[in-house]
């Protein structure tokens, strides 16, 4: 294996000076076409690639973007994070950047990591996930003029920075409207306790859709911590009500899984599953496996937007706005349940009442 090629070795090979080779890469318009061609073939021949360390030292830019991994189980679930990281890696890669991970057990610990990174000048920018009320990280970063973008709105605080987020309310609104169009009137929402920005947002979409159709929501809202067990309990209570729900929108796939389970408990026949349509959130493999409808976050697109906004900060062009930008993406409703049309109508199929294990063979009509 030959020695690593350097700027000098390439220059010698092409019979030009160091700087000319450098220009061939960074400012090709300065070179005479013939020279450029000669240098490029020399670069090719020696398989030259500029040393990241040297370039970084001189330019004080590392071409690295940091992402704090949220503590497991906190906020974003593994599947969502995984896909987001994928998108981020791809998008930043094609812009010449790489993604660096650092662990972030909590705000303070994460800030400590920022401090270290700032001092060692090892990162150009940050992407924050799992924004929440009273997030101290954004203020810390803003104070020091470090470029960053958050995936998630700055709940509570005013937005002094750029962010990208998925419009949860629009998603649940669409899902609910869809169910209403299919004839449902008693559509329940199972979500999280008030106070979590994301949860409140998702709930509000359901509320607005119900309000827009003049449908009452009394007895249709259940709020509990995330998890299948919560969904199970919630669904059980919704079914025993005097005027039970005929469809359910959930703030997460975990809750949806619980709901699915509760419905199976009432009636195990496969066809009746669709009788009470369920809509989850995040479109995880679980939803796909069980045939539950779900709202898919456009994670790759979100990641691309994050990178785009970061690049605006890192390499501002002439037409780059000075104001921080905000991007809100709509989730996509993935309709599954019984492979039929948008949502099953309750007029076609009787609503499930508890106590009587309805054996409904109806099957996949329509």
Residues at the interface with its own copies (CB under 8 A): 1, 4-5, 47-54, 56-57, 60, 62, 64, 69, 72, 77-79, 81-83, 85-86, 89-90, 93, 98-103, 116, 119-122, 144, 227-229, 254, 257-258, 261, 264-270, 285-286, 289-290, 357
Task: Write out the binding residues for DNA, residues 28-57 only, by CB under 7 A.
Answer: 30-36, 48-51, 54-55, 57
The token pair at 137 is 């990280």
Residue of 1, 31, 3 whose CA lies nearest to 17: 31
Residue 16 interaction partner, one of DNA, its own copies, none, beta carbon < 5-8 Å per kind: DNA
| Under rule CB under 7 A, residue 8 binds DNA | yes
Judged by beta carbon, residue 6 or residue 204, the one nearer its own copies is 6
Residue 17 interaction partner, one of its own copies, DNA, none, beta carbon < 5-8 Å per kind: DNA
* In the complex, minimum distance from the CB of residue 51 to DNA, in angstroms, rounded to a whole number: 4
Helices and strands in the chain, H and E counts:
13, 12
Residue 320 interaction partner, one of DNA, its own copies, none, beta carbon < 5-8 Å per kind: none
CA dist., res. 184 & res. 212, Å (int): 14
Instruction: Tell me the backbone φ, ψ of residue 100, rounded to 5 degrees.
Output: -115, 135
Cα separation values, 306 from 63, 64, 161, 198, Å = 15, 14, 12, 18
Cα separation values, 102 from 65, 105, 123, 127, 298, Å = 11, 10, 11, 11, 24
- Other CB atoms closer than 10 Å to residue 208's CB: what's the count? 16
* In the complex, minimum distance from the CB of residue 49 to DNA, in angstroms, rounded to a whole number: 7
Residue of 191, 200, 198 whose CA lies nearest to 165: 198
Judged by beta carbon, residue 57 or residue 181, the one nearer DNA is 57
Judged by beta carbon, residue 278 or residue 290, the one nearer its own copies is 290
Task: Write out the binding residues for DNA, residues 106-125 only, by CB under 7 A.
Answer: none
CA dist., res. 322 & res. 339, Å (int): 48
**Among residues 25, 118, 236, 335, which is the contact residue for DNA, using CB under 7 A?**
25
The token pair at 346 is 């309750």
**Among residues 12, 22, 207, 326, which is the contact residue for DNA, using CB under 7 A?**
22
Judged by beta carbon, residue 57 or residue 211, the one nearer DNA is 57
* In the complex, minimum distance from the CB of residue 47 to DNA, in angstroms, rounded to a whole number: 11
Is there a contact between 40 and 24 (Cβ–Cβ < 8 Å)? Answer: yes
Residue 1 interaction partner, one of DNA, its own copies, none, beta carbon < 5-8 Å per kind: its own copies
| Runs of H (alpha helix) within the chain | 7-14, 18-26, 33-46, 52-59, 78-93, 107-120, 136-143, 168-181, 197-212, 228-240, 253-266, 285-290, 299-314
* In the complex, minimum distance from the CB of residue 62 to DNA, in angstroms, rounded to a whole number: 13
Scored b (16 or more CB within 10 A) or e, 80-102 reads: bbebbbebbbebbeebebebeeb
Residue of 229, 231, 346 whose CA lies nearest to 281: 231
Judged by beta carbon, residue 3 or residue 361, the one nearer DNA is 3
* In the complex, minimum distance from the CB of residue 26 to DNA, in angstroms, rounded to a whole number: 5
The token pair at 154 is 């700055």
* In the complex, minimum distance from the CB of residue 98 to DNA, in angstroms, rounded to a whole number: 17
* In the complex, minimum distance from the CB of residue 149 to DNA, in angstroms, rounded to a whole number: 24
* In the complex, minimum distance from the CB of residue 125 to DNA, in angstroms, rounded to a whole number: 18
Residue 25 interaction partner, one of its own copies, DNA, none, beta carbon < 5-8 Å per kind: DNA
Instruction: Give the residues lining the site for DNA (CB under 7 A).
Output: 4, 6-8, 15-20, 22-23, 25-26, 30-36, 48-51, 54-55, 57-60
């Amino acid at each position: 294996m030959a020695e690593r090629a350097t700027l000098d070795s390439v220059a010698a090979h092409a019979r030009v000076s160091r700087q000319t080779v450098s220009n061939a890469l960074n400012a090709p318009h300065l070179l005479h076409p013939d020279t450029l061609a000669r240098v490029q073939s020399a670069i090719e021949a020696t398989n030259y690639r500029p040393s990241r360390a040297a370039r970084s030292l001189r330019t004080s830019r590392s071409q690295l973007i940091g992402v704090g991994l949220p503590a497991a189980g906190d906020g974003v679930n593994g599947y969502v994070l995984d896909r987001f990281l994928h998108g981020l890696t791809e998008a930043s890669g094609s812009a010449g950047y790489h993604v660096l991970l650092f662990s972030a057990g909590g705000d303070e610990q994460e800030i400590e990591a920022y401090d270290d990174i700032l001092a060692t000048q090892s990162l150009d920018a940050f992407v924050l996930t799992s924004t929440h009320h009273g997030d101290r990280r954004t203020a810390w970063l803003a104070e020091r003029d470090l470029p960053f973008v958050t995936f998630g709105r700055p709940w509570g605080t005013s937005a002094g920075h750029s962010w990208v987020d998925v419009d949860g309310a629009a998603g649940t609104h669409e899902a609910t409207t869809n169910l209403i169009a299919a004839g449902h009137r008693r559509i329940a929402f199972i979500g999280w306790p008030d106070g979590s920005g994301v949860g409140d947002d998702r709930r509000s979409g359901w509320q607005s859709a119900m309000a827009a159709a003049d449908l009452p929501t009394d007895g249709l809202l259940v709020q509990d911590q995330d998890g299948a067990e919560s969904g199970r309990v919630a669904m059980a209570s919704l079914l025993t009500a005097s005027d039970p729900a005929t469809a359910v929108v959930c703030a997460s796939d975990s809750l949806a899984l619980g709901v699915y389970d509760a419905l199976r408990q009432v009636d195990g026949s496969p066809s009746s599953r669709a009788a009470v349509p369920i809509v989850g959130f995040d479109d995880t493999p679980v939803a796909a496996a069980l045939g539950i409808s779900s709202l898919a976050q456009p994670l790759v697109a979100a990641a691309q937007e994050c990178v785009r906004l970061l690049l605006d900060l890192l390499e501002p062009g002439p037409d780059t706005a000075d104001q921080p930008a905000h991007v809100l993406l709509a989730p996509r409703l993935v309709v599954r349940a019984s492979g039929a049309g948008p949502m099953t109508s309750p007029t076609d199929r009787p609503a499930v009442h508890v106590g009587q294990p309805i054996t409904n063979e109806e099957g996949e009509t329509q």
